[in-house]
Amino acid sequence: MTKMDILVGTVRRIGRNGPPYEVMCSVAPASNGKHQMRIHMIESDEDLDYPVEDILRDPLDD
């Protein structure tokens, strides 16, 4: 298990009042070399690749 795998299954919000998302899995780094993870936007039912550094800044959803 990698450090990023610990994030899998957590539910967070984009910023304080933003939409909730669930962290799904690790994906290939972006073209700029930054690590990313696939997230599932709960309200819109979309899957997106999102930078790990942003995930770590986003608050957990209670």
Contact 26, 2 (CB under 8 A): yes
Has residue 62 got a pLDDT over 80?
A: no
Domains in the chain, number: 1
pLDDT of residue 1: 62
With respect to residue 14, please indicate whether it lies within any of the assigned structural domains: yes
With respect to residue 51, please indicate whether it lies within any of the assigned structural domains: yes
Main-chain phi, psi angles of 34, to 5 degrees: -75, 140
With respect to residue 62, please indicate whether it lies within any of the assigned structural domains: no
Contact 28, 36 (CB under 8 A): yes
With respect to residue 29, please indicate whether it lies within any of the assigned structural domains: no
With respect to residue 15, please indicate whether it lies within any of the assigned structural domains: yes
41: Cα separation from own chain's centroid: 9
- In tens, the pLDDT along 28-57 reads 999 999 999 999 999 999 999 999 999 999
Instruction: Output the six-digit token pair for 47.
Output: 């899957």
For 18, the domain range is: 4-24+34-56
With respect to residue 43, please indicate whether it lies within any of the assigned structural domains: yes
Task: Indicate the pTM of the whole model.
Answer: 0.90
- In tens, the pLDDT along 12-21 reads 999 999 999 9
Let me know if 23 is exposed, middle or buried by CB neighbors in 10 A (0-12, 13-18, 19+): buried
